[in-house]
Structure 1
């Protein structure tokens, strides 16, 4: 049996227990020579792959998920300060969320367009997209791609014979490919957590999707081992109905490369917060000859009074000659270069966006007075990087509709014959439309009324043309300014707003 999976190698655990940097094993593709490799010996190979996925790949996904929620593992796991009376703030910053949202918003906030040449086929695709709210699905898939470097969707037919496509959780899904140059998907796995046993072992429900059936297994634990098949259900897609989306050939998340910079930013910001708090709680030093309050606990009472009232009142002593002695009180503060700290934070802040190729929208240079060309130069690096993600995403979208098309070789309700679907992204960016229109009109290039209407945010060409036609039928003077048209407040009728007779 030819096996090329490096998950079988004796790879050390991720940084001896540390969550980052990630080991190579945490993001490999699973490859086998044929489907028989998975099914032989009571699915022993499949069990090994599932165990490897739970032990090595899920921890990486968990870390990436935490960094998108501001639960940055490094800052929260660093040792506590030894001094009990010192501040110990943990300031986590969810740069991951900002970066992932920008990627998903740029690519899919404006719904992706799907077109084919045939009107009947176009109607079927539009119906499928509307039924499944594909615009929202695409945005969720791209958000997962930006976070984890991968995303999954599952197609299925429900009990009402409707064709469905849904997002599949990256913590529960992976695809197994053949080891040819084409990397064709041979199978896919969904393992859903269903229960926790008394011995704190998690139980999973496992389903194996092949090109013609869905095989389910008895509930397993993370120890896995061999699998016992419990059921098999045919499907009619003629392909594996789970599709993988990826950010690039390496399946890296968009902020995965800058996690160390995020950790450094968290650390310096937390240390600054600790310093500011420690200054307030600085050590008070009293020097000189003074008389503490009388009594056994005089010094303790003095300290409590300072904490409660913030005022220090001391009575000086006298020297041998009867003269009053001097008293001095001052706080001892740790030395801290606030300017250097702030400069360091700003440098890290800029590096995070620069290294991730995502523009920093908080930058003052992103002002509203910048020209369209200037704005495009500011995101030039991002557009080079996002092209890889969009091209990879487009290939997977093509498979979505290929599945929908091949379904009808056995069932009704899909495309009569598979027709390649044209996928068009519309980047969600502000454009200097007025500059472009002015440039064309100055050059003597006419623009249609429909095009002009489509540039407005409050109406569209069809609605406005209908409104104009209705006003024309009602014999309203369309050239008359709206400010000169008044209405009778009692009757609601239009009256002449011109001069009085």
Structure 2
């Protein structure tokens, strides 16, 4: 989460007081426990794993984790950036060349995962160490990087801070590295205790991004993760499933009830009788009407438990807007329209995420363009159109029927663009024209017809007139 400060608080942000830096770091650290919790849920380290039972009771303590948190994030990320982000318009070829070089597609997937987990994602931009340096981007854990913005309505960036511990061979923290990124400089500090103000300035370097080379991406207006509001439901589901297995275990490990008979008068006699029972599976009771034996068991109402399980699971998917793709409603024979209706919630969620994601992508474009201009490459990103395509199951049969019906009413290029496996409609039309020409030539050859308007031995119109 960005930290807000008055831009006029410091006369020169390239000469930052240690007290300002320490207080910003301290404020950022207050958000770390929440981020740690969200990461634990994604990794499957849920609170149910810490549940304990009284060891004296001997009751089973199964602890099951149904990791809906990971499922929600993985589905959302795949749906959102499964198809690479597309850029068009403007003179952005130099930027796109750099994007290809740094594999920006994989980078966007990593960023989208942070957005879904934490509600925010942070990028840091820097220059490569090659002989001919070029801009690069990296996703930094939001627990180690934060952005400071001013208190205006535009929330313009003032500086970014990347801080992380330096450890010795035994894993002990010996000092902290604190890198501060302003609009035109990078300030490198070291400090032994991150809570102190004893910052030592190690180095100062100029950068050429023309702005703070840190961009904060938002997942939504509240900056919440995609499964954050479902944590209590996830806990309830884990508890229900764990107790369900515990009940089964108790049912198997039932107590034998004996009425009107004794297994022995001493502990040794009890032990010997129980061993005989286990070995021969036979229990002899006295011949009286009151003698009886049976198991003390807990009545299990599986029907009610299953209803409750399905209700909690349904709520998790409903409120996260991520459907359960294993549900029978997602059968392979469902039409494209029906499938889109079932994915309407996820599509609505993704459109909101897209808007915030594109805002960050535009900031990235501007910073990359600034660096490339310094390197003498003309780049214009003002009118660039950014398109995000969601990964929906394609119903090509249905699309093909639509294409046939709209033939001669809509251009062929537009019609081809509706087919999922056609990547470049204009190039595909050229291939079709070439294929038709080749087919026409083969047909003419088969019927002995001239292929090029005339051939050897044929009579031209002028010759026939003579």
Q: Into which bin does the TM-score normalised by the smaller protein fall?
A: 0.7 to 0.9
1:291 CA drift (Å): 5.6
Q: How far apart, in 2, do the equivalents of 1:148 and 1:478 lie?
A: 66
Q: Does 1:188 align with 2:196?
A: no
Q: 1:216 aligns with which of 167, 182, 188?
A: 188
Select the residue among 346, 350, 356 that pairs with 2:320.
356
How far apart, CA to CA, are the structure 2 residues paired with 1:203 and 1:478?
Answer: 82
Aligned equivalent of 1:62, options 23, 32, 36: 36
Moved more, 185-194 or 456-465: 456-465
Query: Matched residues in 2 for 1:458 and 1:441: separation?
Result: 16
Q: Does 1:131 align with 2:101?
A: yes
1:78 matched to 2:51: yes
Shift of 1:218: 1.2
Aligned to 2:27: 52
Deviations 1:63-107 (A, max 9, x none): 1111112111x2123343454411111111211111111211111
Structure 1 position 142 matched with structure 2 position 112: yes
* Residue 170 in structure 1 maps to residue 142 in structure 2: yes
Distance 2:263 2:45 in 1: 52
3-state DSSP class of the match of 2:328? coil
Superposed CA offset, 1:416-458 (max 9, x none): 4554422111110013232132134235546748965983759
**Does 82-91 or 156-165 show the bigger shift?**
82-91
SS where residue 365 of structure 1 aligns? helix
Deviates more, 1:269-278 or 1:75-84: 75-84
Look up the match of 1:384: 348
Task: Summarize the alignment of residues 361-440 of structure 1 with structure 2, pairs less than 5 Å apart.
Answer: 361-409=325-373, 411-412=374-375, 414-440=377-403
After TM superposition, list the pairs within 5 Å mapping 1:242-391 onto structure 2: 242-290=214-262, 292=264, 297-306=268-277, 309=279, 311-317=280-286, 327-391=291-355
TM-score scaled by structure 2? Answer: 0.84
In structure 2, distance between residues paired with 1:208 and 1:260? 38
Give me the TM-score of the superposition, normalised by structure 1.
0.78
| SS of structure 1 residue aligned to 2:211 | coil
Q: 1:116 aligns with which of 89, 95, 102?
A: 89
Task: Give the whole-Å Cα distance in 1 for the aligned partners of 2:268 and 2:167.
Answer: 59
User: 1:280 Cα deviation (Å)?
Assistant: 1.1
Q: Which fold has the larger relative contact order, with Cα–Cα distance below 8 Å and residues 6 or more apart in sequence? A: 2
Q: How does 1:435-446 map to 2 (within 5 A)?
A: 435-445=398-408
1:152 aligns with 2:122: yes
Residues 202-232 of structure 1: per-residue CA shift (max 9 Å, x gap): 7432111111111111134343445332221
The CA deviation string for residues 341-370 of structure 1, in whole angstroms up to 9 with x for no partner, is: 111110000000101111221221122222
Distance 1:479 1:131, change over 3 A: farther
More deviation in 249-258 or 225-234? 225-234
Give 1:487's aligned residue. none
- 2:204 maps to 1:238: no
Over 3 Å counting, the alpha-carbon distance change for 1:202 and 1:174 in structure 2 is: farther
Partner SS, residue 360 of structure 1: coil
CA RMSD of aligned residues (A): 3.3
**How far has the Cα of 1:143 moved from its partner?**
1.2
Q: What is the DSSP-based 3-state SS (H/G/I as helix, E as strand, rest coil) of the residue aligned with 1:297?
A: helix
Q: Which residue number corresponds to residue 80 of structure 2? A: 107
1:40/1:239 Cα in 2 relative to 1: closer, same or farther (>3 Å)? closer
8 Å CA contact 2:127–2:135 kept in 1: the answer is yes
Count how many residue pairs are aligned between Structure 1 and Structure 2: 439
Check the 8 A contact 2:218/2:356 in 1, yes or no: yes
Give the secondary-structure state (helix, strand or coil) at the position aligned to 1:252. coil
- Alpha-carbon distance in 1 for matches of 2:416, 2:372: 42
Give the Cα–Cα distance (whole angstroms) in 1 for the partners of residues 191 and 275 of structure 2. Answer: 63
Gaps of 5+ in 2: 447-466
Counterparts in 2 of 1:435 and 1:61: CA distance versus 1, 3 Å: same
**1:89 match: secondary structure:** coil
Q: Distance in 1 between matches of 2:405 and 2:151?
A: 59
